[in-house]
Amino acid sequence: MPRRERNKFVKRGQIIELLIEDYAFGGKGIGRIRNEHGEFVVFVPNTLPGQLVKTQIKKSSKKYAEGKLFEVLKASEDEIDMPYQSIPGAPYINLPIEKQHDYKKQSTLELFKRIGKVADIEDKFDEFVTSPNTFHYRNKMEYGFSAIGYDHDLKTDVDEFTLGFKKRGTWWCGDNLNNDSGLFDAEFENQLKDIRAYCIATGLDPWHAPKREGFFRYFVVRKSYKTNRLLFNLVTTSYDLPKFDLDKFANYLVELFGDRVAGLLHTINDEVGDRTIATTGSISLIYGDDKIVEELLDLNFEISMKSFFQTNPKCAEKLYSKVVDYALENKEAIDNTVVLDLFCGTGTIGQIIANKANNTKIVGVDIVAAAIKDAKENAKRNNIEGLKFYAADVGKFLTEHPEYTNKIRTIILDPARAGIAPKTLKKMINLNAERLVYVSCNPATQARDTEQLREAGYTLKKISLVDQFPHTAHIETVVLFEKIN
C-alpha cells in the first residue's frame, strides 16, 4: 500500500496565524501559506479579506485545508467600530452593510455560474433585496448556560457561571452576553446579565458540557414584532428541579419586562446531546400564553415555541412578496388551477398566493406534522379558502396523490438546507409543470439542482437575492424557472 504523502504546509490540529486575502461563498475567507514548497490555500469560515486570524486546521488535503476560526487578531481595514457586543452569530457586524451585500452577490452568482452551469447568470439577476432592519431584526434567540467561561484578558478557560453564547471555535466554553448584540431585542439583551445574576443566586449549577451535568441549560426567547411581546422558554434538567421556584422566576421576568411578557414555558431536557428541546423531554406552561401572534403581509400567524417561522419577519415579507411576484407573473398559470406548495412549512407562501389569486387551489406539503398543524390553524385564522395541507414526505406525496399532480402548471418549493433529494426532484420534474419558483436558504444546493433542472428542459429566467441575515454569510435566493417549449 503506497505511503500517504505528508502535507508540506499544514497538519490537522495545528493552530496558525493567517492573513485572509479573498472571500468565497458561504463566508469562507481564503488565506494562503507560501513557503519553499509553493503556495497552499486555507479556507476559514466567517472571516474577511484583510483580517489576520488565529485558526485551527480541521481538514487537510493535498490541494487545500479548512480551518476553524479561534480569534481575529487584527481587523480588516474595511471594518468599522460598532456599539454592540461581538458574538459568533454576527461575524461581519463591523463590516459596512453595502460591503456585505457586495460579497454576498458576487460569491452567490459565481456559484450558479460554476455549479449550476449558468454562464449568463449576471443577465438573469433581478434584484438584491435588503433587510428593512439592519440591526435588531431577529425574532428568536437561544442563549446557553455554561459552567465554563472565558477570560478574554488571560485568554484562557475559567470556572464561571455564564449565560450567552458559545465561545467562538469551542463547544465546551460559554461567553457571557452582557450587552446588546445588535441582532435581537436591545432591552432584553441589556438585562440578560440580571437574569444571569438571578440564576446564580439560586445556587443551582449551569450545564457543564464536558461532564454532561448541571441544572440550567438554555434560555430561549421569541419576539412578536406585531405586539412587541416576548415568549420565554427556560430549559433545565430535572435534577434539582424541586429547588427552583418557576412561578417566582416568572414573576421576576414580569418585574423586568412588564406586560411585554407573553408567557413562560419550562422544558425538561435530560439528554446529554447539545439540543435545546429534547425528543423525550416535557414542556409545560408556567405563566401567561404559550403562543404569540405575528403579522406578515396583513395575515396573522400564531407562533408556538416549537413553530418554524422566519427569523427576520420584516425581511420575510419582502422575500414572500418576491416569491408571489414570480408566481403571479403569469397569472393565467395560477388562476383556476392547482398550485403545489412543496416543503411548505407553516404554509405562509401558499396563503399569500391564495389571497391574491382567483379560484386557485393551493396544496401544501411538508414532512413536519407540527408545521402542517400550524398551517391549517393559520389558514382558518385568516379565513382563507382553497388550501389543503398534507403532513407527508414530498417524494411519497408526489407518487401517492395523482389527483393533484396531473396537469400542474406552477410549483412553489422551499426545501431545507440540504436541497431536494435527487429522486424527489426527478418526480417533480416528471410533473412537467410550466413554471417553478424555487426558494432556497442554501444557494449551493440550489445551484446543484439548477444543473439537473436545466438538463430537464427548464431555463433559469430570473434570480433575486434576499438578505435575511445581515452580518452573517447567509443569503436566500428566489429563482424563477420556466419550461422550454
Give me 117's grid cell. Answer: 452551469
Asked whether residue 343 is marked as a ligand-binding residue, the answer is yes
The one-letter amino acid code at 170 reads: T
Which residues make Cβ contacts (< 8 Å) with residue 409, sequence separation at least 6?
A: 333, 334, 337, 339, 433, 434, 435
HSE-CB for 176 with a 13 A CA cutoff: 23
Cβ contact 370:306 at 8 Å: yes
Residue that the C-alpha cell 452577490 belongs to: 105
- CA 36 – CA 13 distance, rounded (Å): 22
Give me 375's grid cell. Answer: 398551517
Q: Is 315 a catalytic residue?
A: no
Catalytic residue among 173, 199, 315, 441: 441
Cβ contact 39:30 at 8 Å: no
Asked whether residue 414 is marked as a ligand-binding residue, the answer is yes
Asked whether residue 257 is marked as a ligand-binding residue, the answer is no
- Backbone CA torsion sign across 275, 277, 279, 281: positive
Quote the radius of gyration of the chain (alpha carbons, Å).
24
Give me 143's grid cell. Answer: 442563549
User: What is the DSSP pairing of strand 38-45 with strand 28-35?
Assistant: antiparallel
Cβ contact 442:417 at 8 Å: yes
Which residues are annotated binding-site positions?
310, 343, 366, 414
Kindly list the catalytic residues. Answer: 441
Q: Known binding site for S-adenosyl-L-methionine: residues? A: 310, 343, 366, 414
